[in-house]
Chain A
Amino acid sequence: MKKILVVDDEESIRFLYKEELEEEGFIVELAQNGKEALDKLSFFKPDLITLDIKMPVMDGIEALKRIREMERHLPVVLCSAYGEYKQDFTTWASDAYIVKCADLTELKVTIRRLLGVL
C-alpha cells in the first residue's frame, strides 16, 4: 500500500483528496501547510506528496525546497489554483504540476504514473 501525504490549507480540499485517493487504494495523511508537512515527513514516510503552493505559515515552494534537501527522489506533485506557474514547475524541482479542478482524473493518472502503479 503506497502512502500519500496531501498538503493543502483548505480543509474541504484535504477532505476531498483523502476520500478520493483512499478509494483508489492509497494510505492518505494530511497536512495544513508546509511546516506541518515537513514535521510529518519523518514518521509518515510518504511515497508521494501532493503540495499546494499558496499556504499560510510555509508555502509550497519553500516546503518543496526543504523536502528536496531531505528526500531528493520523493515524487512531489504541485497542485495549485494558479495555472500560470505551470511552466516553472521543473525549475522548482517538482515532478508534476496540476491545475486544481473538480475532475480529479488528471491527478489520479499522474500519481499512478509517478508511483508506477496502474
Chain B
Amino acid sequence: METSFAYDLLKSIIHLSTSHLPLETKLDQMLKSISDHFHSDRCLLLKPDQLKGNGLLLRFAQEGKPLWGDVEMDIDEGLSLPEVEELLLPGFAFLPLSGETSFLGFLYLGFLKNRYFSSEEKELLLLIAKEIGRTIQYDHLQKEAQKNASELIALQEIGKTITSTLKLEDLYEKILTTGLKILKARGGVLRIEDKRSGDLKIKFSLGGYDENPLDEKIAKRVFFTRTPFLLNHYSGEKCSSILCVPFLSGGQCYGTLTLYDKEAGSSTFDQRDFQLLLTMAHQTSFAIENALTHYETSSLAQDYEKRAKQLSTLWELNKALLTTVNFERILHLMLTAITIGDGLGFNRAMLFMLNEKEHTLDGTMAVGPDTSEEAGKIWSALSQKKGPLSGLLEQLSNSSPNHSQLNSLVRGIRIPIEREQCILSRTVLEGRPFNIQFPRYEEGWIQTSCGGQCHLSSEIGCSIGAQLGRDPRAYSFSTVPLWGKGKVIGVIVVDNLYNQNPITEEDLQFLSMFSNQAGLAIENALLYRNLEDLHRELKEMQSRLIHHEKMSALGELSSTIAHEIRNPLVSIGGFARRLYQSVPNEAPEKRYTQTIMTEVFRVEKILSDLLNYTRDESIAFREIKLQEVIEESLSMITNKFTEGKVEVVKQYSEGLPNVKGDYHQLKHAFFNLIDNSYQAMKGEGTLSIRIYPVEMNGSPFARVELEDTGKGIDPENLHNIFNPFYTTKDSNLGLGLPIFHKIITSHQGQIEVDNRPGEGVTFIITLPAMEASHEKDLSRRR
C-alpha cells in the first residue's frame, strides 16, 4: 500500500517534470504533491542565496548530504541554523538539490511533531529531490539555450543587415538599432572618425544620449585607448549605465558604439551584454570598413568621372576653337561653350577685351538669354537636342550673337582700368579670378561688390551689377582673366542670373582652365587677323605697284610716241599758220588752214596732258599751306575767268592745319580741277571755294570744297570721271580729272563728289594734316 503511494508520488513528480508547464508552476505542484504525501506542515524550496553565513546547511550543501531532523538525530550536536531558525520544527528534512555541476538549493519539509523517516521514505525523498534538481537545471539550460539562440539570431541578423547595404547612413542606423534590440538598451550613439579632421563625428543617435557631455568623453577615451568601457550604477542625471565599445578592424579603429540603460528590470549591463556587444562591434567593423572603402572608392570614381568629363569637354571645346581663326567666331564659340549645359553650363557669359591704347576694358561680346522665359526655352530645347558636344557647338557657332539684347548692352560697357576697385579691373591688374557670391535675395542686404567706385555707379552697387544684375546690391558673378602670351588680354564675366545656382570654386577652376585655352585661341586669331590685315595691305600695295608699273610702262611708251609726234606736229602747225597768214580773209582756204591749226593745237594739248599724267615725278613732300596752293592755282586761270563771267567766292577758315605734300603737284591738281569747273560752267557762273579743318577718328584733316554751277555730271558717267581712258562723245580725252585724282590719292587724300545733275558739282577733297599723316605712317608700319 505504502509502496504504491510512493510510486504514485514519484510518477506525478516525473510527470510534472516532463510537462511543458512553466518552472514555477511545476515546482509549486511538485511541492503540493510532496506535502500531501508526507502530511508536512511546511514544504518549500530554499534557494542558494537564502543560505546565509557558514552554517551547517552550507556544509551539507557542499557535501551534497541531506539533513534529517528526526528522532534519531541529536540536535545538540553542533546543529546551529541561525539562518533558518524558523524552519527548525520538531521534525524536518533538508534535501540538497544538485545539478551536474552546481548546488541549486534545498527541498525542505517541516513537521510540527516529531517525525520519523523510514529508509523507504528517505530513499523516496532523495529520488524526488534529485528529480526536482534535474527539473530546475533543465529549465536553466533551456533558458540559456534560448538566450544563446536569440543572441545568435540577433548576430546573424546584424550580419545580414550590414552586408545588405553599402550605403553608410543606412548601415549606421541598422547597427545601432540592432544593437539596441539585442541588448535591450534604451538608447545609443554611433560615432565614426572623420578621416580629414581626425575627429569623431556622430553618425547616428537614438534616445538623445548624445546630449550628455559624458557621452563624448567616454567615446573619445574608448576610441583612443581602443578598450571597451562598462559603467553600471552611474548616478548621472540621464543615465545609470553605459556600455561603449570600439569598432576595430585590421588594427585600425573606425569609431565607437555606445549603449545606454537596459530596458525594464535590471538597469545594468552584465558581462554577457559586454561580450555580446564586443562581438557585434567586431563583426560590424568589417562592414563599416568595407562601406567606408566603398564610399571612398565611389567618391574617387565620381571625382575621376567628373574630371574625365571635364577633360573631354575641354578637349571638345578646344577642338572647336581650333577649327577657326575667325576672331568673331572664336569669341562667339568660346562664350557659347561657357553657357551651354554640356560645356561649362553658366547662364550668361560676357567678354571684355583689354584696350591697351585707351586703358579700358571694352565690352566685346556676350552670350546668354535676355529673359528667364527665353532661358527656359533655350534649356528645354537643348535638353531635347541630344548629341555630341562638337555637333552642338558647330550648330551654335553658326548663329550670330549680335541680335541679343545682352550683347548690345555689354558692347556699350567701357570700364577704365585705373578703377582699381572694380572687380573687372582687378581681374586684369591682379591676373586672378574673382568669385562674388551673395546669398539668394536677402532682404535688406546692402553690399557693393567692388566699392561702388566705378563709372555709372549708383549709391549702391556697381555699374556691372546695375546693368547686368536684377539687383545691383546683390549681383553674384565671377570673373576670370583671359591670358594670351603671358599677359591678360581680357576678362570673362559669368553669372547664373536665371537659375541662381551658386558658382563654386570648382566651377571657377574649370572656367579658368578653359579660358587659358581660349586665350591662346584668341591670341592666335588676333595674330591671324593682323596677318590678314597685313596681307590685305600688302596686296593693295602690290596692286598699286602693278598699277604704277603699268602706268610707268605706258608712260614710257606714250612719252616716246608723244615726242615723236610732236616734231611733225610743229611743222604741220607751223606751216599751216604760215599759209593762214598768206591767205586772204575772204578765201575759203583761210578756214581750211585755220582748221588745221586748231586741230594741231588740240593734238598738242592732248600730248602734253598725256605726258603730264604718265610722267614719273618724284614727289617732294614738305609742309604746305593749302590756301596758298589754291590761290596760285586760281591765279593761273583768273584771266580766263575775267574773260567770261565767272564769280569766285572764297571762304577760308581760321586755324587751318598745314598739309604734307608736293607743292607743284598739288597746284597742278587744283589747277586741273578749277579748269574742269570753268569748262563745266562754260565761262559763266559761280565758283565757291571753301577750306576748313575737320577731325576724323581723332586725327586732324584739311578739307577743300569746290562748288560750281555747271550742268553737273551725267550720273551714267560719274563713276568714270577719274578714268584716264574714258571719254564721252562730246568731250576730248580729258586727262584733267584723272591727273587731279592721281595726285590727291598719292597724297593719301580722299575725294567725294556731290553731283547735282543740271545744277552743278561739288568736289570735296580731304587731305591729312601734317601730324595726322605722320601718325598714319606710324600705324601703317606697325
Identify the A interface with B (CB < 8 A).
Answer: 10, 12-13, 15-16, 19-20, 54, 81-84, 99-104
Interface stretch (choices B306-314, B543-551, B560-568, B719-727): B560-568
Q: Do B608 and A83 touch across chains, with their CB atoms under 8 A apart?
A: yes
Q: Do A13 and B578 touch across chains, with their CB atoms under 8 A apart?
A: no
Q: Do A101 and B567 touch across chains, with their CB atoms under 8 A apart?
A: no
Q: Do A102 and B611 touch across chains, with their CB atoms under 8 A apart?
A: no
Q: Do B571 and A103 touch across chains, with their CB atoms under 8 A apart?
A: no
Which residue of B562, B570, B608, B615 is within 8 Å of A102 (Cβ)?
A: B570
| Distance of A17 Cα from B567 Cα, bound (Å) | 12
Asked if B315 is at the interface (CB within 8 A of a chain A CB), the reply is no
Q: A83-B608, A84-B611 are in contact. Are A102 and B567 (CB under 8 A)?
A: no
Measured between beta carbons, the chain B residues less than 8 angstroms from A84 are: 611, 615
The contact sample of 22 A-B pairs, CB cut-off 8 A, is: A10-B571, A12-B567, A12-B571, A13-B567, A13-B570, A13-B571, A19-B578, A54-B563, A81-B570, A84-B611, A84-B615, A100-B567, A101-B566, A101-B569, A101-B570, A101-B573, A102-B570, A102-B574, A102-B577, A102-B601, A103-B577, A104-B577
| Distance of A33 Cα from B601 Cα, bound (Å) | 27
Identify the B interface with A (CB < 8 A).
Answer: 562-563, 566-578, 597, 600-601, 604, 608, 611, 615
- Say how far B717's CB is from chain A's closest CB, in angstroms: 30
Measured between beta carbons, the chain B residues less than 8 angstroms from A99 are: 608
Which residue of B569, B574, B576, B600 is within 8 Å of A20 (Cβ)?
A: B574
| Distance of A16 Cα from B566 Cα, bound (Å) | 14
Q: Do B604 and A102 touch across chains, with their CB atoms under 8 A apart?
A: yes
Q: Do B600 and A102 touch across chains, with their CB atoms under 8 A apart?
A: yes
| Distance of A102 Cα from B601 Cα, bound (Å) | 7
8 closest Cβ pairs, A-B complex: A102-B573, A12-B571, A81-B566, A16-B574, A81-B563, A100-B570, A102-B600, A10-B567
Measured between beta carbons, the chain B residues less than 8 angstroms from A81 are: 562-563, 566-567, 570
- CB nearest to B567 among chain A residues: A10
| Distance of A101 Cα from B578 Cα, bound (Å) | 14
Measured between beta carbons, the chain A residues less than 8 angstroms from B611 are: 83-84
Q: Do B576 and A102 touch across chains, with their CB atoms under 8 A apart?
A: yes
| Distance of A69 Cα from B611 Cα, bound (Å) | 34
- CB nearest to B664 among chain A residues: A87
Total inter-chain residue pairs, C-beta < 8 Å = 54
- CB nearest to A100 among chain B residues: B570
Measured between beta carbons, the chain B residues less than 8 angstroms from A13 are: 567, 570-571
- CB nearest to B596 among chain A residues: A102
Q: Do A16 and B570 touch across chains, with their CB atoms under 8 A apart?
A: yes
Measured between beta carbons, the chain B residues less than 8 angstroms from A104 are: 574, 577
| Distance of A101 Cα from B575 Cα, bound (Å) | 12
| Distance of A54 Cα from B563 Cα, bound (Å) | 10
Measured between beta carbons, the chain B residues less than 8 angstroms from A12 are: 567-568, 571
Supply 19 further A-B pairs (C-beta < 8 A) apart from A12-B567, A16-B575, A83-B608: A13-B567, A13-B571, A16-B570, A16-B574, A20-B578, A54-B563, A81-B562, A84-B611, A84-B615, A99-B608, A100-B570, A101-B566, A101-B569, A102-B569, A102-B572, A102-B576, A102-B577, A102-B597, A103-B577
- Say how far A66's CB is from chain B's closest CB, in angstroms: 24
Measured between beta carbons, the chain B residues less than 8 angstroms from A15 are: 571
| Distance of A20 Cα from B579 Cα, bound (Å) | 12
Measured between beta carbons, the chain A residues less than 8 angstroms from B571 are: 10, 12-13, 15-16
Measured between beta carbons, the chain A residues less than 8 angstroms from B615 are: 84
- Say how far A86's CB is from chain B's closest CB, in angstroms: 12
- CB nearest to A81 among chain B residues: B566
| Distance of A10 Cα from B568 Cα, bound (Å) | 9
Q: Do B577 and A100 touch across chains, with their CB atoms under 8 A apart?
A: no
Counting chain A CB atoms within 10 Å of each CB, the highest count among B567, B573, B576, B608 belongs to: B567
Measured between beta carbons, the chain A residues less than 8 angstroms from B601 are: 102-103
- Say how far B552's CB is from chain A's closest CB, in angstroms: 14
| Distance of A10 Cα from B571 Cα, bound (Å) | 9
Measured between beta carbons, the chain B residues less than 8 angstroms from A16 are: 570-571, 574-575, 578
| Distance of A99 Cα from B608 Cα, bound (Å) | 10
Measured between beta carbons, the chain A residues less than 8 angstroms from B600 are: 102
- CB nearest to A101 among chain B residues: B604
Measured between beta carbons, the chain B residues less than 8 angstroms from A101 are: 566, 569-570, 573, 604
Q: A16-B575, A102-B573 are in contact. Are A82 and B604 (CB under 8 A)?
A: no
Counting chain A CB atoms within 10 Å of each CB, the highest count among B568, B571, B577, B601 belongs to: B571
| Distance of A82 Cα from B601 Cα, bound (Å) | 17
Q: Do B566 and A100 touch across chains, with their CB atoms under 8 A apart?
A: yes
| Distance of A82 Cα from B571 Cα, bound (Å) | 16
- Say how far A75's CB is from chain B's closest CB, in angstroms: 21
Measured between beta carbons, the chain B residues less than 8 angstroms from A54 are: 563
Counting chain B CB atoms within 10 Å of each CB, the highest count among A81, A84, A102 belongs to: A102
| Distance of A100 Cα from B597 Cα, bound (Å) | 15
| Distance of A20 Cα from B567 Cα, bound (Å) | 16
| Distance of A15 Cα from B578 Cα, bound (Å) | 12
| Distance of A3 Cα from B577 Cα, bound (Å) | 24
Q: Do A103 and B573 touch across chains, with their CB atoms under 8 A apart?
A: yes
Measured between beta carbons, the chain B residues less than 8 angstroms from A102 are: 569-570, 572-574, 576-577, 597, 600-601, 604
Measured between beta carbons, the chain A residues less than 8 angstroms from B578 are: 16, 19-20
- Say how far B663's CB is from chain A's closest CB, in angstroms: 13
- Say how far A103's CB is from chain B's closest CB, in angstroms: 7
| Distance of A103 Cα from B407 Cα, bound (Å) | 73
Measured between beta carbons, the chain B residues less than 8 angstroms from A83 are: 608, 611
| Distance of A99 Cα from B572 Cα, bound (Å) | 16
Measured between beta carbons, the chain B residues less than 8 angstroms from A10 are: 567-568, 571
Measured between beta carbons, the chain B residues less than 8 angstroms from A100 are: 566-567, 570
Measured between beta carbons, the chain A residues less than 8 angstroms from B572 are: 102
| Distance of A69 Cα from B289 Cα, bound (Å) | 121
| Distance of A102 Cα from B615 Cα, bound (Å) | 22
| Distance of A81 Cα from B560 Cα, bound (Å) | 10
| Distance of A83 Cα from B608 Cα, bound (Å) | 8
- CB nearest to B572 among chain A residues: A102
